[in-house]
A and B are shown apart, each in its own frame.
Chain A
């Protein structure tokens, strides 16, 4: 069974940094592209970015709304994908989801982790 578990969310002040982790199991983590999405309270889904597998050079792509502030990395030896978030803003408050990509779509989602940016 494919499982994705996010961790690292919580309350953080504006301007500070936070790193989320996503631990995958039940599939060959290193062979798969991984992506992060978020959902602000009461709002729709928003793509943050993705990281391709090592075979594809661990290439990353990001949404314009967070480019330059957020970075996605991966550690295949630990089956973990990371989302480093810097210079956090109040509008970054959301539930953050880690997903496995099956192509151009997210075929498995984690349960999400809440990030609240507030002073």
Chain B
């Protein structure tokens, strides 16, 4: 059971916009700790996708955006492409547990 809750799977057609959620609590996201997102393509190491809630590292397309409100955060992907098919993980910090992750969301591009 992960500290942050993510839906196990999300799907969308090419060109569509999808939103992945990440729900925490008052001891992590709700305590104003930042949320970060990682993309893990099949068979590869995770890669930083969004940091500090809504910032993109160099090289990450602006189709990816992050937001945070209250005890939750979201990752939006617009103009969905086949290459976006991957597992996505949210990460934050918990005042009791340290660095925490969501269980991951598998994105399928139909």
Residues 35-75 of A, flagged 1 when their CB comes within 8 A of B and 0 if not, give 10000000011110010000000000111100000000000
Contacts of A61 in B (CB 8 A): 98
Residue of A nearest to B50 (CB): A105
Number of interface residues of B (CB under 8 A): 23
**A interface residue count range (under 10 / 10 to 19 / 20 to 34 / 35 or more):** 20 to 34
Cβ of B24 within 8 Å of any chain A Cβ, yes or no, is: no
Asked whether B101 lies within 8 Å of A110 as measured between CB atoms, the reply is no
Query: Could you tell me the distance between the alpha carbons of A108 and B51 in the complex, rounded to whole angstroms?
Result: 12
Cβ of A102 within 8 Å of any chain B Cβ, yes or no, is: yes
Cβ of B100 within 8 Å of any chain A Cβ, yes or no, is: yes
Cβ of B33 within 8 Å of any chain A Cβ, yes or no, is: yes
State the total of A-B contacts with C-beta under 8 angstroms. 59
Asked whether B48 lies within 8 Å of A105 as measured between CB atoms, the reply is yes
CB contact under 8 A between A103 and B52, given known A45-B89, A63-B98? yes
Contacts of B2 in A (CB 8 A): 44
Asked whether A64 lies within 8 Å of B89 as measured between CB atoms, the reply is no
**A/B interface sample: 28 pairs, CB < 8 A:** A44-B2, A44-B89, A44-B101, A44-B103, A45-B38, A45-B46, A45-B89, A45-B91, A47-B101, A63-B99, A64-B97, A64-B98, A97-B46, A104-B33, A104-B36, A104-B52, A104-B99, A105-B34, A105-B36, A105-B52, A105-B91, A106-B38, A106-B46, A106-B48, A107-B48, A107-B57, A109-B45, A109-B46
Which residues of B pack against A, CB within 8 Å? Answer: 2, 33-34, 36, 38, 45-48, 51-52, 57, 89, 91, 93, 97-104
